[in-house]
Structure 1
Amino acid sequence: MSEKPLNVAVIVGSVREGRVAPVIANWLVRQAERRDDVAIDLIDLVEARLPGELRGHFGGDKPAEVTALRPRLAAADAFVVVVPEYNRGYPGALKTMIDSYHAEWQAKPVGFVCYGGMSSGLRAVEQLRLVFAELHAVTVRDSVAFQSPWTMFDADGNWPADSSGCDAAAKMMLDELVWYARALRDAKTVRPYAS
């Protein structure tokens, strides 16, 4: 008997004009669609149109855009954040989005696909690990990291031009994410998570 696929929310964490994040997120979605153990919900922060700042007090009323996204995050068994590195950190819009929710992250795994210049976005991921730990989420060890992804288009505009290494990295990260998602989901059915 096969298990029901896990709901994985892929969050496109950049809202800048000219961003490469959607290209990378769509590549990841194609990787995930090869699997029968996950179902993907692609959440693009541009489309979500969340406020640029936190409004409403903790636990109180939130703007309609925040409330509208809540069921999708709550339904997720796991998350993958597609994140660029900006000046050794991650985008402010992503931080505002993360901080707009609390229980939706708890006792769920988070994986990362990052990109940037020399560090390939890994410094942004290191900071996000601390943020998600504070929200009681569990980050998986292996990430997928792209150095200068804007140079990885082939002559026909396809991305990435050579996908062998990154396909393997995506499989490893998704394997870990699925393992943690199942383990945490099973644990929560036995004993509710105490935050």
Structure 2
Amino acid sequence: MDAHETEDEIYNLAGALENIVKESQLEIIELEHSVEKLRAESSLLKDHIEAQAKGLGQECIKLRNLQRRRAWQMKIEGLTMDIAAAEEEITRWKVAAEDEAAAGRALSALKQELEEAKGAILESEKKLKFKEETAAAAMAARDAAEKSLRLADTRASRLRERLEELTRQLEEFEHWEDTRRGRNGPRYVLAMAMAGAGLCRFQPV
């Protein structure tokens, strides 16, 4: 290989290298443009992402606020239900207390009525006992009166028997007197005297 060929080859290589450098510079420029474009797109995307993130953050805030509001609403609803249940329980307790008070008043009235009934029963028992005692006394008095009447009847019967005996004796005496003295003597006076003497001698049992 001579010097001329070597020089041509060097020129060729230099030209090729220059072309490569130019192409590389063009590629670098294109890459720089691409990088700038990508940077711009990245910036836009970043702005968009930031905007979306901001919006998402606001939505998250809204969501959290909604969740808090819902939680508070649920708490309020629960408290409202608890208050309603407590009011119902209080109402039931009031009704039960009123019923218990009414039952207490009724029980007091029943106790008072029972005491009054006991008093009335005691009074009735006293009256009944008094009546029984009075009836017993009356029966005793009646028995005594009946006994006295029986005794009086016995005495009257004996007196009648004695009177009949005296009358018979008087009749016998009168008959005897009539037979002995006739009917013109003082036999009536004598007979009455004898009858009186017989009655004075009689002792009733």
Taking structure 1 as the reference length, the TM-score comes to: 0.18
In terms of fraction of residues, the more strand-rich structure is 1
User: Greater helix percent: which structure?
Assistant: 2
TM (norm. structure 2) is 0.18
Which has the larger Rg?
A: 2
